[in-house]
Structure 1
């Protein structure tokens, strides 16, 4: 066999706690061992960031080996988590830049260079040579007007968003809401502020114009509270839009 790349022997995610102790990279040296061909783990195969548990709302993900639920409380910033049932690693984030995940038939989770074509499983009882099949290429979607690449203002990861939707953008990675460019949030903020000022003027006018009636009829106070409450809602909403994180439009998809 020809040697494609130099050996790599490093933990799957260095300085990651609770990652699989048997997860290593390893490009192939000439060896007389079993060979298999498998596909790398693509982004579409990763579990969602977390699945809230029905019992207490504890963030959980499903182990990709034994299907047990893994508690990822305090671990959501890690790339992989270790299952306490089968002791195998499950990725919960995309591989670091320039890397890709591979699952050996022995269930060892490996990471290797994105350009690697063959790697070796480091487990002493396996030592398989893994030929990496080309990841299936998804044909680019037909052009959708307004579809852009957005860099999330919270986690800085890229996702697609249609800027013509006149809506706030929710990042599929961190699930947080931001505005795609500053124009949408600024426009909504000014509209809410204008409505808040309008209701403030109405509230003050109604209060001043009917205070004598209110002294005789306590029901007028309900009207006062309602008017000032609407003012407060629009004012708080305007602050929400003005202080919102801004996601950067990187370009057309």
Structure 2
């Protein structure tokens, strides 16, 4: 090991025998020693919860090796504490920035760089080379923008719907169509009503302006019927949107 790695091998618990002390261990390149692959200590092991003693209210933690109770009075500022029963160390605080805890199979608690892949146990009767397994990677969020839980306005059952689709929501349970919130249907209703009024104005203008020509050419009546038909379609469509059942947005999925 180089000088830095030797410095990292100093015990965290001072004045304790190496066999019972938590220690730093740097990255190693040695070969020939026994090798094992383990995972760094996860959040479920550090720090253990403080448990006041029923008799005196003394703060205690559970040893992660032998499960004995450890009195941490006056030791809350330390990172680890020693168990008086098994002489092993248990973390009571998160590892320092850029470091992580590792428990050797011999129960020695080590702390190493967060980027370390191989470390060596410093105990004379162990000296194992520890290959650190990769920490589980948090999967990317599967949340889809705009995806919400909708309570159907017809059957009141919950289903998922993307409110960014600019479409009406069809319930997968009752198969009926509703609007996810009143804003979408109201906006569409006003658009259809505006178009209906526009075609009504056009129809009346064309009818009044060409009624004399229509007496001579029967084809003008087809134009009148077409204009008033378009007006009727948009007007009925606006009523459809204004009277549509509204489904309630319960929250994001």
Q: TM-score, normalised by structure 1?
A: 0.49
User: Whose Rg is larger?
Assistant: 2
Q: TM-score, normalised by structure 2?
A: 0.49
